Amino acid sequence: MNRKTIIIILISIVSFIVLCGIALYAILYNFFESSPPPDDPGKVEEETESYLEDRYDEEFVAEYDDYEDFTRNLYYLEAYPVENEHLVFQVTKGINIERYYDNYQYHKWGDLGIDETLTNETDELFPDARDIDFDLVSSRNSLLINSYIYLSLEEDAIDWDEEEERIYDLIEFYRDENIYSTIRVYYENIDLMYEMIEEELEEINAPEDVADYQQDIEEDGSVT
């Protein structure tokens, strides 16, 4: 038996194994997809509503949509707040692991107009701001807002206790709305800034805690 014949036989064997694997996958996939869900859909809806109400402190209606047991082990649901049935969003729930993902925040703020809502709140706290800017970053289960506030104030006119009070009020607003945020407040005339990244906000429980996040800005724009 020459080399060419051996190669042809090996290719044939590999091709046969691959085809068998594809056929087996299709059979198993169709079997699992046509099987009834592991849990009663009504139970899944109730558990999902409980999760959403605990997370957002609102009442929700969850409606079972589908499930995928073979590859992803997930239930798929649609939900909406009781007070706004038009604000429909998606939720997935793990079948074997109690894990949820939802995009409620993204749909909520998208419908409300996040720029306008946040700008109005920030304008009220910082009426002396030269400029206010936001970056919106969404993920599977949260919404991150990068907030930039630029103030042009003379140092002798600044009451630092008052500054830290209104920064803290902004942090509290984000907490109340379940928004994760990075906040940067720049004092351009005196090369100072406050910077609090998302993880650090959890450590701020009073206005005086904000003082720990004041930093100097060098001439090249770097922070010391």
State the DSSP string of 33-48: HHSPPSS-HHHHHHHH
CA R_g for the chain: 27
Name the 3-class secondary structure at 109.
helix
- pLDDT for the residue numbered 88: 93
183 near 166, Cβ under 8 Å? no
Report, at the CATH architecture level, how domain 113-216 is classified. 2-Layer Sandwich (3.30)
**The whole model's pTM is what?**
0.61
- From the list 92, 97, 87, the residue with the least C-alpha distance to 66 is 92
- The string of pLDDT tens digits covering residues 155-176 is 888 899 999 999 999 999 888 8
Tokens of 207: 């206005």
Q: Which residues contact 145 (CB under 8 A, 6 or more apart)?
A: 114, 118, 134, 135, 136, 137, 174, 179, 180, 181, 182
